[in-house]
């Protein structure tokens, strides 16, 4: 016979089980027990060290499909490239919570539901992360009550937030917020975009964040009251009249823009240029290509540039370094990044240990990486890192240019095209200069002055020039 005490204990045990949340170590799955069948919530994982948000480019599985452990669930566009989102556990995909094309998904945001049995799939037909989500049930208990006992009374929203009384951002951006906090904000007429980053997991806005914002609202209203009487700041000039198209920014393009701006703003650039005679290189390249023709390998001038750069890095290791705020890190290996233009933006795949590879090995590796970059198939280890970068615009008819350093690297080489010019080739018996036409190429080395002194940068360029003008020495 079950006593009342045992019944109460049993009930509490069952209730605790229903509210239990188990987070996996990988951070991609959360197992929930609720009125629904046992299931796992698949969340947006961190697919690169710098990733904060991602975009679901394509779902590789459909609802009801069986997923094996290690199989690709979806393609996710990160701040670097399109990366495969792989399953940790096996099961059936019961519900896709966010469709293809959903952008700026924060790490930890639910994206799909996984169940063990196929018969459980139908129970999630109308499931939504913000509706019957197990996370919504314990929200009130998970958020601690504020120290002040009196509950905040609804007051008029400050002027800055009076334009929006909805629970979403006025700019339309997705905001991570608990259902309880969302409800309170709607009642008080608070724009969640003004609350900022929340104190909950992954920056999620919770009840205490709304209450803290409400408590500071009068102070904000006072500080904004005086400027409101001042003349309005001049607005941005209107664009020129005529048809135009606004092109949405991909995650990759946003990151490229931010990193380039950060580099130009924080890294003290200086530039050194030198002109190299490439007559011998072109002759030597022709000889090698004839020998490699049967193997199907064709060397490019850029292959020689990569090899010469890598050997110069080994010869002048001060350039093969990074600024680490409190110290300079000098690398014992040479990984050369090669800038590749792709439809989504500039990618810099890495040729690892380029100083130890032969010209044919470099050529094969560059072709493989360039093809992957243009198809969006690069893996994180193939583009994250590197100790030096080369940007070659010579094939576009550019004579000379300066490139922006790719932090935390200390230098980048900008390569122009080879052009025929009349240069002094020597002197005659009388000591008079002799001139001849030669193919010359101008390169510009951008250096981080915190790491590479001017004399060191000049030494590197002299080493590079020596290898280019005497290619046999490579």
Which residues have a catalytic role annotated? Answer: 449, 453
Closest of 2, 124, 150 to residue 63, by C-alpha? 124
Task: Count Cβ atoms below 10 Å from residue 326 Cβ, excluding itself.
Answer: 5
To the nearest 10°, report the CA torsion of 376, 377, 379, 385: -50
Instruction: Say which residue the tokens 């069948």 belong to.
Output: 37
- Beta carbons of 46 and 107 less than 8 angstroms apart: yes
Q: What are phi and psi of 30, to 5 degrees?
A: -135, 130
**Residue 310, beta-bridge partner list:** none
82: which residues sit within 8 A by CB, 6+ positions away?
Answer: 57, 75, 76, 376, 377
Question: Quick one: which H or E segment has residue 350?
Answer: strand 350-351
The burial class, CB within 10 Å (0-12 / 13-18 / 19+), for 272 is middle
Closest of 312, 356, 365, 311 to residue 338, by C-alpha? 365
Return the DSSP state at 87.
Answer: -
Q: What are phi and psi of 378, to 5 degrees?
A: -70, 140
The answer, yes or no, to whether the previous bond of 286 is cis (omega within 30 of 0) is no
């Amino acid at each position: 016979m079950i006593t009342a005490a045992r019944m109460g204990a049993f009930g509490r045990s069952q209730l605790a089980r229903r509210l239990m949340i188990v987070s996996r170590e990988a951070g991609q799955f959360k197992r929930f027990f609720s009125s629904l069948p046992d299931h796992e919530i698949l969340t947006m994982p961190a697919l690169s060290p710098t990733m904060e948000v991602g975009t679901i480019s394509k779902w590789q599985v459909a609802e009801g499909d069986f997923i094996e452990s290690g199989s690709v669930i979806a393609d996710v566009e990160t701040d670097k490239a399109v990366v495969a989102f792989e399953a940790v556990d096996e099961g059936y995909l019961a519900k896709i919570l966010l469709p293809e094309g959903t952008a700026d998904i924060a790490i930890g945001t639910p994206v799909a539901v996984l169940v063990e049995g196929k018969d459980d799939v139908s129970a999630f037909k109308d499931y939504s992360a913000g509706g019957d989500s197990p996370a919504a049930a314990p929200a009130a208990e998970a958020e601690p009550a504020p120290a002040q006992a009196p509950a905040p009374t609804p007051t008029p929203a400050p002027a800055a937030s009076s334009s929006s009384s909805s629970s979403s951002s006025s700019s339309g951006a997705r905001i991570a917020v608990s259902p309880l906090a969302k409800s309170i904000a709607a009642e008080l007429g608070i724009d969640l975009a003004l609350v900022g980053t929340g104190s909950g997991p992954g920056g999620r806005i919770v009840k205490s964040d709304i209450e803290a914002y409400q408590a500071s609202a009068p102070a904000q209203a006072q500080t904004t009251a005086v400027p409101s009487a001042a003349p309005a700041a001049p607005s941005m000039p209107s664009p020129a009249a005529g048809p135009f198209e606004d092109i949405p920014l991909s995650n990759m393009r946003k990151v490229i823009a931010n990193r380039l701006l950060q580099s130009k703003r924080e890294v003290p650039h200086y530039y050194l240029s030198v002109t190299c005679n490439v007559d011998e290189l072109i002759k030597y390249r022709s000889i090698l290509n004839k020998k490699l023709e049967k193997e199907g390998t064709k060397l490019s001038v850029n292959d020689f540039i990569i090899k010469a750069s890598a050997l110069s890095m080994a010869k002048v290791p001060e350039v093969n370094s990074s600024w680490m705020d409190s110290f300079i890190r000098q690398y014992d290996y040479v990984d050369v990044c090669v800038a590749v233009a792709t439809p989504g933006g500039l990618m810099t795949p890495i040729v690892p240990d380029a100083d130890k590879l032969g010209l044919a090995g470099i050529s094969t590796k560059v072709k493989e990486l360039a093809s992957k970059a243009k198809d969006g198939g690069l893996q994180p280890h193939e583009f994250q890192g590197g100790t030096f970068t080369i940007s070659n615009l010579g094939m576009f008819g550019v004579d000379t240019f300066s490139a922006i350093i790719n932090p935390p690297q200390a230098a980048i080489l900008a390569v122009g095209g080879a052009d025929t010019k009349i240069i002094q080739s020597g002197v005659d018996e009388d000591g008079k200069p002799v001139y001849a036409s030669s193919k010359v190429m101008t390169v510009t080395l951008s250096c981080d002055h915190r790491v590479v002194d001017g004399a060191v940068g000049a030494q590197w360029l002299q080493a590079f020039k020596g290898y280019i003008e005497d290619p046999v020495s490579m």
